[in-house]
Amino acid sequence: MKKILIITTGGTIAGTNSGFGIAPKLSGDKLIPKLDGIETTILDLYSIDSTDVMPVHWRKLYNAVTENLPLYDGIIILHGTDTMAYTGAVLAFTVETDKPVILTGAMLPADAPDSDAHPNIRFAALVAAGGMYRGVHLAFANRIINGADIVKTRSFDKDAFRSFSGFVPTKKYAFPKRNGKLPAVVRLSPFTYGLDITLMAEDRAGIVIETYGAGGIPDNEITLVISELSKVMPIVVTTSCIGGTDLGKYEVGRRALDAGASDGYKRSTECAAVEMWLKMNQ
């Protein structure tokens, strides 16, 4: 019989109606259905909406995962969906293991009619106990996605996640000893000024700029700002479009490269921001 640790962190899956909306209140013993053929242990690590996730929570989760992996055949993490991509990337880049570490969650609270909580937990348990998928993955709505390649594409549909590009990390990083240097994440729009990027860069050690399509920057003062900032900090260009960037494809992309920015390539914005944070704090 496989021994699986289930770590709860809150999220919609643990939610009940607080009178002001859904908030995570349910502990693991109220969430986990019967899982035949699997011996489970529950660790209630913290209980927050994933919108509230910060590096301090990743540290607690990383420590819980790495300390307990030797004791179990796999680990399941119940997590809110809104920052699932960030947490998945953090663990994918930092946890070295041949055992399954499986994230899952739900779009409806476990006690809601027609909730997807128990189906997703059962699916995650099958993946964790099966041992076919090693390392960090998301198991959600019968999809399995690498932890660093998660993108949430729906706010209400139960089938809420997709693989961004097929990206799989080839390098591991040590988990930072402290939060340290933090990147800024900027979303480019026709309303963005160079000053907006300058202000976002203050007290930050790097910038991820999410642009359009295959990636690029406009031919205005933004190019000048990026040229100056790239002399003192890393700047990575990503896209909101599934598939990633190719800054060599268009003139606007080559402009970004000439200004000193780097191509995010197959990395989602969340993945690029997490990797930058890890790189800057080694």
For the residues 214-235, what does the mean pLDDT come to? 96
Return the structure tokens found at 161. Answer: 């996640």
Catalytic: which of 8, 81, 87, 245? 81
Res 15: pLDDT: 92
Catalytic: which of 46, 212, 250, 265? 250
Query: Residue 234 to residues 23, 83, 192, 279: CA-CA distances in angstroms?
Result: 37, 23, 20, 10
Mean predicted lDDT score pLDDT of the chain: 96
For the residues 40-64, what does the mean pLDDT come to? 97
Half-sphere exposure (CA, 13 Å, Cβ side) for 3? 7
Return the structure tokens found at 214. Answer: 């295959």
What pLDDT digit, counting tens, does each position of 268-278 carry?
999 999 999 99
The CATH architecture of the domain made up of 183-280 is 3-Layer(aba) Sandwich (3.40)
Q: Is 12 a catalytic residue?
A: yes
Res 20: pLDDT: 81
Res 17: pLDDT: 81
What pLDDT digit, counting tens, does each position of 82-103 carry?
999 999 999 999 999 999 999 9
Catalytic: which of 2, 46, 66, 82? 82
Return the structure tokens found at 208. Answer: 């991820």
More confident residue, 53 or 178: 53
Cα of first residue to Cα of last residue in the chain, in angstroms, is 39
Domain extent listing, the chain: 2-163, 183-280
Q: What is the CATH number of domain 2-163?
A: 3.40.50.1170
Q: Is 212 a catalytic residue?
A: no
Res 18: pLDDT: 74
Q: Is 72 a catalytic residue?
A: no
Q: How confident is the model at residue 179 (pLDDT cuts 50, 70, 90)?
A: confident
What residue spans of 101-193 are helical by DSSP H? 117-130
Cα separation, 282 vs 279, in Å, equals: 6
Res 131: pLDDT: 83
For the residues 191-196, what does the mean pLDDT come to? 96
Cα separation, 198 vs 196, in Å, equals: 5
Comparing CA positions, the residue from 34, 27, 2 lying closest to residue 100 is 2
- Percentage of residues of the chain with pLDDT beyond 90: 92
Q: Is 152 a catalytic residue?
A: yes
| pTM for the full predicted model | 0.96
Res 25: pLDDT: 87
Q: How confident is the model at residue 19 (pLDDT cuts 50, 70, 90)?
A: confident
Q: Is 46 a catalytic residue?
A: no
What pLDDT digit, counting tens, does each position of 109-119 carry?
999 999 999 99
